[in-house]
Amino acid sequence: MRTRGLNFLRQITGSLAMVDTEALGELGVVAAYIVRGKENALIDMGYQSSAQTVIKDLAACGLGSEDVDYLLPTHVHLDHCGSCGTLASVYSNATVRVHPRGQPHLSDPSRLVAGARDLFGEELMSRYGLPDPISANRVRSVSDNEEIALGDGITLRAIWTPGHAPHHVSYLIEEHGILFTGDAIGVQYPAFPVQVPTSPPPSFNLVKAVESIERIRSFSPAKLCTPHFGLLDKANESLERNLKTLVEWEAKLEKLLSENSDTDEIVTILTNEIREDAQASFSDLPEYLRTTIMLSVMGFLGYLKWNAEQ
């Protein structure tokens, strides 16, 4: 039996709390964030199978079914928007805001599910849960640089940050310099604090990913709230490290491609490098980290091959 100790619900400021969505029963993998003003917003919301965990933690913050005003998935990947439909049915007053390119996938998630099933297979999809469709009149697009005023001195600025996906949006609490990155930056799980890009197929774009990190940096955020995982206090250092990692991966993968290494070989090589950096055995690497590395290699290779053909 799990105890509700480590990072299930962490108060960051008086207006901001982090929820550990307990993704697939694991702590420290997928975070969501509650931002409170006169109105209340939830940024990212985890897999559909995490919905009840999120609902319990919203209740622990004193938020009932009429108290959530905005559901803000940073993008339409299942670990960020999977529970959005379920939560929209519970929080009937909430407006869902998403990048215009993601909007159709929330109202009709069939293509999203089909693509995820091709990547992850039936067994993992059954554990992730299938997203519920959301009535189109509940879903509105969010514009680049649009401000969402929550009241009590809390304003969220939407910042389009493509690269990880073309439908990606980050959010900035302007008054506090706190930026919600989504997957515009790489993962750094607490149990294995090594930097891994978030570069999954089918639409990772390295140039846009770098531009998005530079754009985030132009806002000079003091803190980063990341989904994978947690609060990073030294924002500029983290952004620099992410840029460096992307450059290093590009060089490594281009070299391995020039040596005719196939995808499986490259995944093994990168996994072993990350394992050595973490000073861990292969068996110590959790499934979610191995999956992240595999998908990031696949997406990065796809981009390099596409770019070479242009």
Contact call for residues 257 and 301 (beta carbons, < 8 A) = yes
**Which residues in the chain land under pLDDT 70?**
1-9
Q: What is the pLDDT of residue 8?
A: 57
Q: Are 149 and 194 in contact (CB under 8 A)?
A: no
pLDDT value at residue 46:
97
Q: Please enumerate in sequence order all residues whose Cβ is within 8 A of that of 167, keeping only pairs 6 or more positions apart, or say none.
A: 75, 76, 98, 99, 100, 101, 102, 105
DSSP conformation class of 8 = S
First vs last C-alpha separation in the chain: 53
Confidence at residue 9, expressed as pLDDT on a 0 to 100 scale? 65
Looking at residue 205, its pLDDT comes to 98
The predicted structure's pLDDT at residue 219: 97
Looking at residue 183, what is its pLDDT? Answer: 98
Q: What is the pLDDT of residue 174?
A: 87
Three-state SS for 250? Answer: helix
Residue 13: the pLDDT is 81
| pLDDT single digits (tens) 213-260 | 999 999 999 999 999 999 999 999 999 999 999 999 999 999 999 999
What's the pTM? 0.94
State the pLDDT at residue 11: 81
Length of the chain in terms of residues written: 310
Q: Where are the domains of the chain?
A: 9-309
Q: Give the pLDDT confidence score for residue 305 in this predicted structure.
A: 93
pLDDT of residue 281: 81
In CATH, what class is 9-309? alpha beta
Q: What CA–CA distance (Å, rounded) separates 70 from 96?
A: 6
